[in-house]
């Protein structure tokens, strides 16, 4: 089967010919994410191309091959019937789990635009290639969501991709500019979904994990079932207060939550409040004794695994508090 992207005149197939040392394994998951990177090498440097990145990834990092499936090379301009285009290098079969976003590699396709966009600017030939590759991938059904590297779990600190990929993929010169679909009212659970991942699929829609918790009281986030339907668009603002809404004081709640940081060794009323709240939402921590011991720490950890999967440290702080408040709210407290 030929892919639509193969008909792009600026595409070169280098699945054979780039530096390799072995073979990436096959993906065990369907691609859901197209992840956009830049190379952090200035775009006009001689080393700003797929061949150099492959060399670096294999020889220095010890990887089986280049970490991206596609590399767009602004310094190599190809004349096409539609005008000048940055060359697109196809580096791996689509089903190869290459290394570019850690835990998310299984379901993410890596696309790198050569350049350092802290300093470089996207030129028209590059924008056109980004938009046309994107449109082709959409047509080929490869991935559903576009994300920059630093929008993927665990990478918020990365200066990647820096350029505005959303603007680039819908560049006006594109033959089929694509817009992200509107947020659906309901969402059907897919394999591997968590409330966290669902909330973060929706970059622009503004639905938070707290909203999902509050709007779906009958759903146990610890046990999401494939095919289960939850409120998504309809969850908006279920928890997140609209701007300028006055906050209720904690004393108004049945289970007031302490502020600040509580952790192993903490003692006092705040710990008691936390223990009461954890027990109320079925993250059992044993006797309410006001001592933050191993059972309380374990309950906080179990809670974080469900609601804050990237911040599991057994320490109660502002983020855990916010999630706990939302869960209490969803239970009617």
CB of 311 to Zn ion, least distance (A): 22
- Check binding of 207 to Zn ion (CB under 5 A): no
CB of 118 to Zn ion, least distance (A): 13
- Check binding of 113 to Zn ion (CB under 5 A): no
CB of 134 to Zn ion, least distance (A): 17
**Beta 33-38 vs 108-113: how paired, if at all?**
parallel
CB of 316 to Zn ion, least distance (A): 33
- Given the rule CB under 5 A, which of 52-60, 117-125, 153-161, 285-293 is the region that contacts Zn ion? 153-161
Q: Which is nearer to Zn ion, 157 or 252 (CB)?
A: 157
Q: Which is nearer to Zn ion, 37 or 87 (CB)?
A: 37
Q: Which is nearer to Zn ion, 163 or 283 (CB)?
A: 163
| Distance from C-alpha of 33 to C-alpha of 22, rounded to nearest angstrom | 25
Asked if 146 and 166 touch (Cβ cutoff 8 Å), the reply is: yes
Longest CA–CA span in the chain (Å) reads 75
Q: Which is nearer to Zn ion, 86 or 160 (CB)?
A: 160
- Given the rule CB under 5 A, which of 159-167, 182-190, 209-217, 288-296 is the region that contacts Zn ion? 159-167
The one among 27, 33, 34, 37 contacting Zn ion by CB under 5 A: 37
| Distance from C-alpha of 88 to C-alpha of 129, rounded to nearest angstrom | 7
Q: Which is nearer to Zn ion, 149 or 231 (CB)?
A: 149
To the nearest 5 percent, what fractions of the chain are helix, strand and coil? 30, 15, 55
CB of 161 to Zn ion, least distance (A): 6
**Alpha-carbon distances of 223 from 142, 153, 173, rounded to whole Å:** 28, 21, 45
The one among 113, 114, 160, 324 contacting Zn ion by CB under 5 A: 160
CB of 37 to Zn ion, least distance (A): 3
Asked if 102 and 33 touch (Cβ cutoff 8 Å), the reply is: no
Binding residue count for Zn ion, defined by CB under 5 A: 3
For residues 111-147, b (16+ Cβ closer than 10 Å) or e, as one string?
A: bbbbbbbeebebeebbbbbbbbbbbbbbeeebbbbbb
Asked if 214 and 332 touch (Cβ cutoff 8 Å), the reply is: no
CB of 35 to Zn ion, least distance (A): 7
| Distance from C-alpha of 276 to C-alpha of 256, rounded to nearest angstrom | 9
- Check binding of 149 to Zn ion (CB under 5 A): yes
**Residue numbers of the site for Zn ion (CB under 5 A)?**
37, 149, 160
């Amino acid at each position: 089967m030929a892919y639509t992207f193969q008909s792009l005149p600026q595409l070169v197939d280098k699945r054979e010919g780039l530096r390799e040392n072995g073979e990436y394994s096959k993906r065990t998951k369907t691609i859901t994410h197209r992840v956009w990177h830049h190379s952090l090498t200035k775009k006009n440097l001689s080393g700003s191309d797929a061949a150099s990145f492959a060399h670096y990834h294999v020889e220095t990092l010890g990887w089986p091959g280049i970490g991206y499936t596609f590399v767009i090379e602004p310094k190599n301009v190809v004349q096409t019937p539609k005008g000048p285009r940055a060359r697109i290098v196809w580096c791996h079969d689509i089903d190869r789990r290459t290394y570019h976003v850690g835990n998310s590699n299984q379901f993410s396709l890596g696309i790198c635009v050569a350049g350092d966009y802290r300093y470089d600017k996207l030129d028209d030939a590059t924008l056109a290639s980004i938009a046309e590759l994107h449109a082709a991938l959409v047509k080929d059904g490869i991935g559903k969501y576009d994300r920059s590297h630093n929008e993927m779990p665990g990478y918020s600190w990365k200066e990647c991709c820096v350029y505005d990929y959303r603007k680039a993929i819908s560049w006006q010169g594109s033959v089929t500019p694509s817009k992200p679909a509107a947020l659906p009212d309901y969402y059907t659970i897919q394999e591997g979904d968590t409330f966290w991942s669902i909330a973060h699929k929706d970059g622009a829609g503004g639905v938070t994990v707290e909203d999902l918790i509050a709007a779906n009281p009958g759903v146990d986030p610890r046990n999401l079932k494939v095919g289960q339907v939850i409120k998504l668009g309809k969850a908006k603002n279920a928890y997140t207060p609209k701007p300028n809404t006055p906050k209720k004081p904690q004393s108004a709640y049945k289970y007031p939550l302490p502020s600040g940081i509580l952790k192993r060794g903490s003692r006092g009323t705040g710990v008691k409040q936390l223990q009461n709240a954890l027990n109320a939402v079925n993250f059992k921590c044993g006797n309410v004794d006001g001592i933050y011991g191993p059972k309380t720490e374990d309950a906080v950890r179990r809670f974080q695994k469900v609601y804050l999967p990237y911040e599991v440290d057994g320490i109660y702080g502002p983020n855990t508090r916010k999630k706990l408040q939302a869960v209490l709210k969803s239970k009617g407290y």
